[in-house]
A and B are shown apart, each in its own frame.
Chain A
Amino acid sequence: MGKIEWAMWANEQALAAGLIYATGGIVGVAGQFRGWQFAAFGIAAGVFVCLLEYPRSKRGKGTSVERTGQYCFTVCVKAFGPLTRNYYVRAFLHAALCVPGGFMLATVLGCVCLAIASLIYLSAAIHGEHWEPILPRTEPPKRIGESIKEPPQNPPPRPPPELRRKKVDNLETAAYDNPMSVTTNE
């Protein structure tokens, strides 16, 4: 079990927090709660956090598992360069975004979850992690071996001649099937 990359857990937590923040905001706006303006902010912040956190970072060690369809998000997030690469920025951003949620009950849960995600990102940043985009590897197109164009030079390996002959009337002793019909070979 390798050393932990905190950013992976922070990412899951932040994504969940974004969803909860947005849901709380929707409830607040739809129910026309007092302080619904904070709820409206919650929706916007929640959606933004979800979009930011959807693309997973490439892991420092080991294979990275992409989320479905994350490539376009990766490209967008990558475009912001150091702002999205650095986890200190993310920690601070999440901390700032979560504050208005604390003013209204419907978004309080989203606020606390996002605050926790912010703390985990802070821990990740202190450990020197950063966000790396997962990009598809450009492999050189596989070249079909040239040998396919040429006929084989050598016959396929066969057992010595006296054992090679499979008797037509004694197929049961053969351990494998003949792909073509057997002709007796004198």
Chain B
Amino acid sequence: MSNWIINHGLSAFIVVVWMGINIFLFVHFYLFYDKGPQFEYTRELLGSALPWARAPAAVLNFNCMLILLPVCRNLLSLLRGSFMCCGRTMRKQLDKNLTFHKLVAYMIALMTAVHTVAHLLNVEWYSNSLEGRYGPLAGNLSMLDDSSELNTTYLNPVRSNTTTPTIFVFTTIAGLTGVVITLALILIITSSMEVIRRSYFEVFWYTHHLFIIFFAGLVFHGAGRIVRSQQVTDPPHDTSFCDEQPENWGKIPECPIPQFAGGFPQTWMWVIGPMIIYLCERLLRFIRYMQPVSYRKIVIRPSKVLELQLVKPGFKMEVGQYVFLNCPAISQLEWHPFTMTSAPEEDFFSVHIRSVGDWTEKLISMVENLPEGGQGPKMGVDGPFGTASEDVFDYEVSMLVGCGIGVTPFASILKSIWYKFKDSDPKLRTKRIYFYWLCRETHAFEWFADLLQVLEREMEERGLRDFLTYKLYLTGWDQSHADHAMVHFDKDTDIITGLKQKTHYGRPNWEREFEQVRQENPSSVVGTFLCGPQALAKDLENKCVKYSDVDPRRTKFYFNKENF
């Protein structure tokens, strides 16, 4: 439970606050238009369809303001950088931006539906009022015209009997913009369905740019000022007294002819800020994209893994972060995320790219056909993004557990720890590391085994064999593995990884592992970090609690409750 609170508590809180604001806006504006005296006569014509249209409009204003913000990646990075002091949990929220964007989009879609249906009713009721279908008061109100001789202003925007609702909608700014932007919204939503997005990114991305039309129409949607309210006249027109005698308006002093005026359009005030911010974001992405990225080294690793070492001026990273790569020679539009495998101490950054789909396959085949020592294809780099996992340096003893693809950030972490150790970085308090690598098969991770080999060798040279203890657990072994292991039992190095430590088969027995760590490190504080499945997180957390001891002479385990 506490694991959930740490990992998801802040997100849940933000969603609750957001929903609360939506509900407040809806109810507040509903009551404003339902009870406000200045809309008494408007309600005479429209009934409750008026507040039912205006309340979602307010919610729409709020959400259209919010929708552009989560997709400003660089703004979020900037925020994250300035939040370095304020705790990891805050920073992690910024990584859930796309989820929030989709949530806001669903709300916009829902409110658009309510708003449109309510306005359909409104237009129909307006038309009916003009025909006198709702009684003399409504009829008289509808017949008020914009005329200076008679000193009247109109209330009913439908001015003539021949105007059908369809004609009305297409001849008013609000109607026309409304239809156009709703259409744009529908096209955006249908092309954003997961099926389309995952298979044909281009359709999704191009169609999504209809949001430009959406926002343009949205800003002008209220310019016609169709929703009209009653203005204060001198002498005042008391609706509760005068509404029974519309024929006497203007003839008796208590009931002068009521005056109406349209409301000032407000949407632009909500959305102009985020629109400017988003424009800056796109400019920034373009500028970053134009910055030259050069290749320091290109290595093709076994099992079709490509390692790219890149240099970009002004690029700074932390451990465990990721970047987006774009290769115009393969696809102009696609940006793909890759976790970085280099340490911040190195003067370049590297990514290991596995061949898993069209884009990666093309990249690898392009690189394979390069001449010796040639530069690779032009590459755009955006980033770095993601939470830095800096706590690993704070513990005397660290237990790092990486499952499957989750081992990639640990490449960065292990390298960084090693550099800090060699330079005797005072920030590094780590004296021992236990690294557990769990995977079904080592296919495509041989490069990581290479990294461990290099570290192993360097540590032996310095006589520091104990600094890093690593164990590989192969959970997907079969008969052929077992046979192979049996035959090569007495070799010095492991047959699978070539490491001095032997590969284990099956899942680790955590009781034994924790027991070993405890014995070898009395009176230490041990930090446990996991990059893997939730079930394992629970298990490790329980073990940490079980094997910790309050006695300062004994070992204490802390489980770092975020899965990164």
Contacts and interface: CB of A to CB of B under 8 A. Distances in A.
A8 B165 contact: no
Given A4-B202, A106-B120, A176 B506 contact: yes
Interface stretch (A23-31, A40-48, A131-139): A23-31
A158 B485 CA distance: 9
Given A1-B331, A176-B509, A16 B186 contact: yes
Nearest to B506: A176
B164 interface: yes
A116 interface: yes
A34 B189 contact: no
B390 interface: no
B187 interface: yes
Contacts of A16: 186, 189-190
Contacts of A148: none
A183 to B, nearest CB: 21
B190 to A, nearest CB: 4
Given A1-B200, A108-B166, A34 B489 contact: no
B336 to A, nearest CB: 11
Contacts of A4: 199-200, 202-203
B167 to A, nearest CB: 9
B123 interface: yes
A105 interface: yes
Contacts of A116: 183, 187
B189 A31 contact: no
Given A4-B202, A113-B183, A158 B191 contact: no
Nearest to A62: B199
Contacts of B173: none
B121 A27 contact: yes
A109 B182 contact: yes
B486 interface: yes
Contact of A2 (B116, B117, B187, B199): B199
B200 A9 contact: yes
Interface string A6-22: 00110011001100100
B482 interface: yes
Contact of B120 (A24, A65, A163): A24
A160 interface: yes
A157 interface: yes
B181 to A, nearest CB: 11
A168 interface: no
A157 B483 contact: yes
B509 A177 contact: yes
Interface residues of B, number: 48
A17 B187 CA distance: 10
A105 B482 contact: no
Contacts of B490: 160
A65 B509 contact: no
Interface string B168-208: 11000000000100110011011101011001111100000
A145 B502 CA distance: 33
A105 to B, nearest CB: 4
B416 interface: no
B461 interface: no
A177 B506 CA distance: 11
A159 to B, nearest CB: 5
A59 B199 CA distance: 11
Nearest to A35: B164
A171 to B, nearest CB: 9
Contact of B121 (A8, A20, A31, A112): A31
B200 A12 contact: no
Contact of A12 (B190, B201, B357, B506): B190
Q: Which of A17, A31, A103 has the most CB of B within 10 A?
A: A31
Contact of B195 (A8, A34, A157): A8
B504 interface: yes
Nearest to B362: A1
Nearest to A4: B200
A176 B201 contact: no
B199 A33 contact: no
A109 B182 CA distance: 8
A147 B245 CA distance: 98
Nearest to A174: B512
A175 interface: yes
B504 A159 contact: no
14 contacts: A8-B195, A8-B199, A13-B186, A27-B120, A33-B124, A33-B165, A65-B195, A105-B165, A108-B169, A116-B183, A116-B187, A159-B486, A176-B504, A177-B512
Given A1-B358, A104-B166, 4 more contacts: A4-B203, A9-B200, A34-B165, A157-B485
Interface of A: 1-2, 4-5, 8-9, 12-13, 16-17, 20, 23-24, 27-28, 31, 33-34, 56, 59, 62, 65, 103-106, 108-109, 112-113, 116, 157-160, 163, 172, 175-177
Interface of B: 113, 116-117, 120-121, 123-124, 127, 164-166, 168-169, 179, 182-183, 186-187, 189-191, 193, 195-196, 199-203, 331, 334, 357-359, 482-483, 485-486, 489-490, 502, 504-506, 509, 512, 515-516
